[in-house]
């Protein structure tokens, strides 16, 4: 997702923790009692801080003298339908952890909103690096390439799972994935619309008739990108994939094409590569990335990338519009939410430019 080029040091801006935002304070005594009853081996006292990164579900670091945990909760207040589904996150990471896929070990889900004010779950804190700038400053070309390769390999490993085989057959609806997603994000955008954006209206009309051919049903992360992974401190090894809020069953090409839009976003932004000297940096090209993914999954290469890029940027614009609606309503979870909200129109314009390449 894009952000302001003014954030000169995204690593320090987004990494680490801060004091808990007063809007998202927890009843620490109630949480301590719940942890004692529901998390095996938990022993207080408990220290609570809030992670800086993320605009969606408030996320907290829970520290005790002997262990560290992470708590993910729904934001309090009125929310868009189907948004902030932390219970679904708990389900999918529990299933994937059991299969050896790199996710944090989930301990328990709390559906009793009286404990801290909204539902939440607790998982282990995984130590390592979260890399926020896709240019990977300070690294060698070989180090960059190794990280990009492991990123693609991890996504391919996710897409090789048969949902039925790992207990996730009912995690989403099979078939018609892109049609359902376009309808979903259209609805979400319209529910949080703050002012008319002509490019979004054009995209809402353009996308449904051009749907790509249907792919296999797999687990789709929904927000698979480098800064949603924890890497080992000193190796190109993914220790945990984070932020499964948008995951479902669907077409794996949605995840893969979403990963590829980094190559279409200007390199002046921390999550863009367009215009960067990829060869000098050691970062694989789009073509090399596609070839590696195809080799690891055995799937055909993506058809009509322009439509897929238009769809992905439209979806990001709809997500940012949801954040804009929450800024308006006072429920946004991050200091950077206003910056995110300001991205709706640029994302819509970018999506429409790809739509035109796709025949609009």
What's residue 331's pLDDT?
Answer: 65
Please name every residue paired with 274 in a beta bridge, in sequence order, or none if there are none: 266
End-to-end Cα, the chain, rounded Å? 24
Residue ranges, the chain, pLDDT below 50: 1-8, 10, 12-13, 55, 79-81
Of 101, 223, 96, give the one whose Cα is nearest residue 168. 96
CA separation for the pair 160, 231 (Å, rounded): 21
Query: In whole angstroms, what is the distance from residue 64 CA to residue 62 CA?
Result: 7
Q: Hey, which residues does 70 pair with through a beta bridge?
A: 61, 123
Measured CA to CA, the distance from residue 14 to residue 243 in angstroms comes to 15
C-alpha closest to that of 54 among 242, 299, 186, 199: 242
Per-residue model confidence (pLDDT) at position 1: 45
CA–CA gap between residue 226 and residue 242 (Å, rounded): 10
- Domains in the chain: ranges and CATH: 10-124 (3.30.200.20), 141-357 (3.90.1200.10)
What are φ and ψ of residue 47, in 5° steps?
Answer: -115, 130
* Among the listed residues 217, 198, 218, 206, the one whose alpha carbon sits nearest the alpha carbon of residue 306: 206
pLDDT at 179: 96
Write down the pLDDT at residue 237.
97
Question: Is the distance from CB of 58 to CB of 90 less than 8 angstroms?
Answer: no
Cα separation, 324 vs 343, whole angstroms: 9
User: What pLDDT score does 8 carry?
Assistant: 47
Q: Are 102 and 241 in contact (CB under 8 A)?
A: yes
């Amino acid at each position: 997702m894009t952000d302001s080029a003014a954030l000169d040091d995204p690593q320090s801006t987004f990494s680490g923790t801060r004091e808990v935002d007063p809007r998202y304070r927890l009843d620490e005594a109630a949480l301590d009692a719940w942890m004692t009853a529901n998390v095996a081996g938990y022993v207080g006292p408990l220290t609570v801080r809030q992670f800086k990164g993320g605009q969606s579900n408030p996320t907290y670091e829970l520290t005790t003298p002997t262990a560290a945990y992470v708590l993910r909760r729904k934001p309090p207040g009125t929310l868009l339908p189907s948004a902030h589904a932390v219970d679904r996150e708990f389900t999918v990471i529990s299933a994937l952890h059991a299969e050896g896929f790199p996710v944090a070990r989930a301990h328990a889900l709390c559906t009793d909103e009286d404990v801290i004010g909204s539902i939440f779950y607790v998982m282990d804190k995984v130590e390592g690096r979260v890399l926020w700038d896709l240019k990977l400053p300070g690294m060698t070309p070989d180090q960059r390439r190794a990280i990009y390769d492991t990123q693609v390999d991890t996504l391919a490993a996710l897409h090789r799972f048969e949902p039925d085989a790992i207990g996730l057959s009912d995690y989403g609806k099979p078939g018609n994935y892109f049609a359902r997603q376009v309808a979903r994000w259209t609805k979400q955008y319209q529910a949080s619309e703050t002012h008319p954006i002509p490019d979004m209206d054009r995209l809402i009309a353009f996308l449904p008739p051009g749907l790509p051919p249907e792919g296999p049903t797999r687990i789709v992360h929904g927000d698979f990108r480098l800064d949603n992974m924890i890497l080992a401190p000193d190796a190109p090894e993914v220790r945990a994939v984070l932020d499964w809020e948008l995951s479902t069953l669907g077409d794996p090409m949605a995840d893969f094409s979403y990963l590829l839009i980094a190559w279409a976003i200007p390199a002046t932004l921390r999550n863009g590569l367009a215009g960067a000297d990829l060869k000098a940096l050691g970062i694989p090209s789009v073509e090399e990335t596609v070839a590696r993914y195809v080799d690891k999954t055995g799937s055909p290469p993506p058809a009509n990338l322009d439509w897929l890029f238009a769809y992905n940027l439209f979806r990001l614009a709809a997500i940012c519009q949801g954040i804009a609606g929450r800024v308006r309503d006072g429920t946004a979870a991050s200091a950077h939410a206003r910056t995110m909200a300001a991205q709706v129109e640029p994302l819509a314009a970018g999506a429409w430019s790809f739509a035109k390449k796709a025949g609009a």
